[in-house]
Structure 1
Amino acid sequence: MADREVSVLVVGGGLNGLASALFLSQQGVDVHLVERNDKTAQLLRAAGVSARTMELFHSVGLEPEIRERGLRLIPGEHWTEPHSPVDLLPRAILGAKRLSDIGNGRAFVMEEGTVEVADASPMEPAWCGQDRLEPMMIREAVQRGARIEFGTEMVSYEQDADGVTAVVRTLATGAEQRIRARYLIAADGVTSPIRESLGITRSGNGTIGHVLSILFEADLDSVVEGRRFLIAYLLNEAAGLLHRFDETRWVFGLFFDPERHAEAETSKDKALELLRTALGEPDLPIDIQLVNRWRLAHDVADTYRSGRIFLVGDACHVHPPAGGYGANSGMQDAHNLAWKLAAVLRGWAGESLLDSYEQERHPVGKATADQAWIRQTTRSEGDGGHPDLRNSTVISTGYRYPEGAFVGEKGGEALETELRIDGRPGLRVPHVWLEREGAKVSTVELATDTFVLLAAPDGASWADAATAAAGALGIPLSAYRIGTDLADAEGRFLQVTGLTPQGALLVRPDGFVAWRSPGAAGDPRVLLQDVLEQITARA
């Protein structure tokens, strides 16, 4: 007999595991997370939070705090401005032989980006390190009922037709307990013992190299004369990549040979020597805070699911950090899976809805990994004009599910050549500012834990039919009529969504379009009941 029963057990307490616990608890699912490390953020590699991920954090109330505690991203061309405020971070990627080249104007621009996503998202991206972000996520998940235990490892597990039985051990005491869960989420990282035990294979370009990451504190601003930048490639005998982690700390990463470099050579003393060479500042005071070794690779799991066990984040896709897509993609995995698990556990969706997790996230994960690979290799080779390169907003927000839990035209590429968030099923709902009870609200903010039916101004029958159909099926749904329940002051809704005044859009609890009718139809209730049954695998 189990000591504890829970709906979902999450193994791994990094960003992806914590996102799983947070988004499941947001949906009212009881969740238990175990993490063998005794504290958060052992690897400080992730700091960039995309606009899409900020949408997800906004839905759980964390977005204002993340902005307050992080740095503010601004357009890349501002990197040339000296003595800028330390909390500003221009989206500029620079190349230089030494750090002082940035201060004396000898650096060259490898890439400049903007933060203008106003037409694509109600949110702007943010820059907030894991060591600040993860405690916020833990606090919010626990407040919603999640149980999170650090210093606890999973010793073993057994899967059967009805669930998973796991034995977990508290490392400080050696005490063990048996946990019975309906489902298990493997968020146990790149090496993922759970994935390996399941025999899940991976495909990709494999190991690119091994990286040494050095977290340090130093007054680099005096060298660059207060110029801010996102990343600088320092191209010398200790070549590597430098980026600001927060107001006072920096991260420097460089390739190294693990066979040629003994463990002693990756100590803090060796790291200090490497840093001084790379920066070109032999006398600069530097405080080394953390030195990590990790494998740079490009691999995607061939399946994201084995029975009642699901892979998320690094456990199912790992790729170079170029573009900053890794943690964001993993947290979006967790969000996609959370509402589906909640729907099945509550009984208003069929078990096969869970198949759509892999159908949707695998193509996106592979395409995203490939884009990171292209960015990594083209930057290394000095060629930024790769024909398959996609716009960052397409990758982070404008991706489309070729197959999955939606009704409408399927197929095509996960990442299209141009940004088109236009109301097609399989895309995140187009962002349009509306007004509800005198307050500004985006269409993206309307669907967080229920389905949402957005009826065009003359589509009242759609709203009534959706409410009736969802009620008959026990599916949570909110219906709004544009022009009545929600004001469209800018008059953009119909144009952006591809609807006529008689049309309607059905949005899933994760904000993705599930179905669209450009105009009127025969019997709206019969049609919508059939659509909802198909989407929730009840048909």
Structure 2
Amino acid sequence: MGDDRRVQVLVVGAGLSGLTAALFLAQQGVSVLGISKHRGTSPHPKATGQTHRTMEVLRRAGVADEVLAGEAGLGGGLVIKVAESLRGRVFHSIVHEDDEWDATLSPERPALASQDHVEPVLLRRARELGAEVLFETELVSLAQDDDGVTARVRSAGDEYAVRADYVIGADGHRGVVRGFAGIGRQGPGELTRHVGVVFDADLTAHIVPDKLTLFYLRNPAFTGAFVATNTARRNVFTIEYDPARESAADYPVQRCVELLRIATDAPDLEPDVLEVTAWEMAAWVSDRFRAGRVFLVGDAAKVTPPTGGLGGNTAIGDGFDLAWKLAEVLKGEAGVGLLDSYEAERRPYAKLVVDGSYANYVQRFAPHLAGPDVPAEVDPMHLTLGYRCRSNAVLIEDTDPSPMEDPADPSARPGFRAPHVVVTHNGREVSTVDLFRTWTLVTLNPDWRAVAAPSLHVPAVTDPTGALSTRYRIGRTGAALVRPDGVIAHHTTNPPASPTALTTTLHTLKSL
């Protein structure tokens, strides 16, 4: 493949964030090329668990049910504890992880699929929608100008140029896009090093068989973690080590097995060790999420400790958020100023994720680090369903500085996710979440339809229970203008003031 290529968007990296971005760009008719230096999608059972919000995004991609199938065998939910060993002393139970699904919050329930299941699902769907994704293809260089970005790419010894309007860096925390873009990073940095052991063994007598079991282990012999997956007999064990005193090479298979026997309270355990790898736990956020025509998503934009389960979810959220904004600009439906909202909205969110996960790390792994400089814990439900976007793509008129609210009591103010309400549309019951595929006006007042531009979706809905009027706080006269990502951009309780006011508002939000 020696010929130069031309695409609208080049996505570097084919993990959760990159595949999500490629999928949603292709879904909206954007020509997109994804490349990855790896041989294929991740084979590792990590980044397990999808929030309500992530499942809503996957629902829009048409793959929610397929992702849910990846949790087969885990119908009992979660067991998450901080303990000495699987049967040893328990220091702390993570109770909020066991909360049952609240069907009033979302049409989708959280899932327990792992990354090795989700990535192939996203890849298949992205290709089905027209995205091209190439593996064993490496980014060599990147240079941008006023009109686009030129990337040099190498595959099977052949080097060629790819010209794109925009580039998305989704190549992880060790990726090269961030460096090419000249973007630094900040935060606590590396927290600890781990040896990860993937192994097969029958541990049904030691764990609850139908639950995803996660133990943070603080044992006199080691500090680490244990995860039982829903793949038959497949488990993951991690061991923390101090790089100032030893290295991963000091953990041969036999030593790992000896520590594993202590962790599982199974002194005669004979596991089938499949892989031993070294990895680092870190916490940092990029100084910027954008440099001109180059954007960062997922772990290229931030790295969070896994103590919170939001790293993969945030990666999917980044890819989705950037994709709809880039698509609107590339299709000429929004001005380039809309792209300013990506960093403005996603970087503060990433900071909350990293801070909250770091607080969890201190509590679960390293209580000796506790102190006034440790960020406060973050309520995961408030963060994932109650986060407030603040940018030029929302019109906020109140002075409340709170970054989140309780999604069980939504205010329907601009910047917050539009609440899930069951309404009647085209003769059938649907969730309002399913109405937001483009800019949408939610109203029960027919006068708003008369002043809406043809490009604005104004679904004819009925509100049999009164929940729409109440939860959206629009009464019978007002309206909520909702973005394609389901975020309320403008809200009023009044009827339309003039024939042109709504169009002017919409153009302002789209930076037209």
Same fold (TM over 0.5): yes
Q: How far apart in 1 are the matches of 2:208 and 2:461?
A: 49
2:180 match: 197
**Could you list the per-position Cα deviations for residues 394-450 of structure 1 after superposition, in whole angstroms to 9, with x for gaps in the alignment?**
1122111133311232665563364443311111111101122343211111112x1
Asked if the contact 2:241–2:247 (Cα under 8 Å) also holds between the matched residues in 1, the reply is no
Q: Distance in 2 between matches of 1:28 and 1:167?
A: 25
Q: Give the aligned partner of residue 75 of structure 1.
A: none
TM-score normalised by length of structure 1 = 0.88
Q: Aligned in 2, Cα 1:387/1:297: closer, same or farther, shift over 3 Å?
A: closer
**1:174 corresponding residue in structure 2:** 157
2:452 is aligned with 1:477? no
2:80 to 87, 93, 110: 93
Q: Distance in 2 between matches of 1:269 and 1:182?
A: 52
Change (3 A) 1:230 1:397: farther
Q: Is 1:405 aligned to 2:389, yes or no?
A: no
TM-superposed deviation, 1:89: 4.0
> Where do residues 230-245 of structure 1 align in structure 2 (5 Å cutoff)?
230-236=213-219, 237-245=221-229
Unaligned runs of 5+ in 2: none
Aligned residue in 2 for 1:511: 486
Match of 2:461 among 454, 475, 486: 486
Matched-pair contact (CA < 8 Å) for 2:216–2:364: no
**How far apart are residue 110 of structure 1 and its match?**
1.8
CA distance in 2: counterparts of 1:435 and 1:13, whole angstroms? 39
1:163 maps to a residue whose letter is: G
> Deviation of residue 95 (structure 1)?
3.1
Distance of 1:404 and 1:486 partners within structure 2? 29
Q: By how many angstroms is 1:265 displaced? A: 2.8
Bigger mean CA offset, 383-392 vs 250-259:
383-392
Structure 1 residue 43 displacement after superposition: 4.5
> Which one-letter code corresponds to 2:381 in the other structure?
T
How well do the aligned residues superpose, as a CA RMSD in angstroms? Answer: 2.3
Q: How far is the alpha carbon of 1:518 from its aligned partner?
A: 1.2
CA distance in 2, matches of 1:447, 1:488: 17
Aligned counterpart for 1:208 among listed residues 148, 169, 191: 191
> Any idea what the Cα deviations from partners look like across 1:499-531, whole Å, max 9, x if unmatched?
1210111111111111111121321x3111111
Q: 1:413 to 1:251 in 2, by over 3 A?
A: farther
Question: Which deviates further from its counterpart, 277-286 or 134-143?
Answer: 277-286
Q: Offset of 1:297 from its aligned partner?
A: 1.3
The answer as to whether partners of 2:355 and 2:376 remain within 8 angstroms in 1 is no
Deviations 1:374-400 (A, max 9, x none): 111123329899993332111122111
Q: How does 1:278-289 map to 2 (within 5 A)?
A: 278-289=263-274
1:118–1:415 CA distance, 2 compared to 1 (3 A):
farther
SS in 2 for 1:444: helix
The range that moved more, 132-141 or 269-278, is 269-278
Partner of 2:68: 67
Superposition deviation, residue 230 in structure 1: 3.6
CA distance in 2, matches of 1:461, 1:417: 31
Deviations 1:458-505 (A, max 9, x none): x11212312xx2x3xxxx43112xxxx323232211110111210111
Structure 2 equivalent of residue 157 of structure 1: 142
Where 1:10 maps in the other structure, the secondary structure is strand
Alpha-carbon contact 2:261-2:269 (below 8 Å) kept: yes
Tell me if the contact between 2:447 and 2:496 (Cα under 8 Å) persists in the aligned partners.
no
Aligned to 2:403: 415
1:307 partner letter? G
SS at the partner of 2:308?
coil
Inter-partner Cα distance in structure 1 for 2:216 and 2:150: 48
**More displaced 10-residue stretch of structure 1: 125-134 or 240-249:** 240-249
Tell me, what secondary structure is at the counterpart of 1:205? strand
Choose from 427, 444, 459 the match for 2:416: 427
Match of 1:79 in 2: none
Alpha carbons 1:402, 1:414 under 8 Å: kept:
no
Please give the per-residue CA displacement for 1:217-270, whole angstroms capped at 9, x wherever unaligned. 211112236473542123311232112222322222231123433443344444
2:8/2:32 contact within 8 Å kept: yes
Instruction: Tell me if 1:534 matches 2:508.
Output: yes
1:147 and 2:135 aligned: no
Deviates more, 1:256-265 or 1:149-158: 256-265
Structure 2 CA distance for partners of 1:4 and 1:363, relative to 1, 3 Å? same
Following superposition, the deviation at residue 24 of structure 1 comes to 1.1
Q: Deviations along 1:160-199, whole A, 9 cap, x unmatched?
A: 11111111111xx311221110000000101232212322
Quickly say closer, same or farther: Cα 1:186–1:229, change in 2 above 3 A: closer
- The letter of the residue matching 2:87 is S
- The range that moved more, 265-274 or 117-126, is 265-274
Q: Give 2:432's match in structure 1, choosing from 435, 443, 447.
A: 443
Of 337, 345, 353, the residue aligned with 1:360 is: 345
In structure 2, the partner of 1:495 is 470
Distance 1:226-1:5 versus aligned 2 partners, 3 A rule: closer
> Which stretch of structure 1 is more off in the superposition, 311-320 or 395-404?
395-404
Equivalent residues in 2 for 1:331-410 (5 A)?
331-380=316-365, 381=367, 388-409=376-397
> CA offset at residue 150 of structure 1?
0.5
Residues 529 and 226 (structure 1 numbering): CA distance in 2 closer, same or farther, change over 3 Å? Answer: closer
The TM-score, its normalising length taken from structure 2, stands at: 0.93
- How many Å separate the matches in 2 of 1:309 and 1:224? 46
Matched with 1:247 is: 231
Instruction: Tell me what 1:7 maps to.
Output: 8
Native 8 Å contact 1:391 1:418 kept in 2:
no
Q: Secondary structure at the match of 1:320?
A: coil
**How far apart in 2 are the matches of 1:196 and 1:115?**
42
- Amino acid paired to 1:112: V
- SS for the counterpart of 1:188 is coil
Query: CA 1:327–1:285 in structure 2 vs 1: closer, same or farther (change >3 Å)?
Result: same
Partner in structure 1 of residue 450 of structure 2: 464
Give CA-to-partner distance per residue, 1:302-359, whole Å, 9 cap, x none.
1110010000011111111111011111111111111110111011211111111111
Cα 1:263–1:409, aligned 2, differ >3 Å: closer, same or farther? Answer: same
Equivalenced residues, count = 503
Taking the aligned partners of 1:227 and 1:447, their CA distance within structure 2 comes to: 35
Counterpart of 2:461 in 1: which secondary structure? coil
- Determine the C-alpha separation between the residues in 2 that align with 1:387 and 1:180: 42
Change over 3 Å in CA distance of 1:487–1:37 after alignment to 2: same
- Whether the aligned pair in 1 keeps the contact of 2:477 and 2:495 (CA below 8 Å) is yes
> What SS is found at the alignment partner of 1:13?
coil
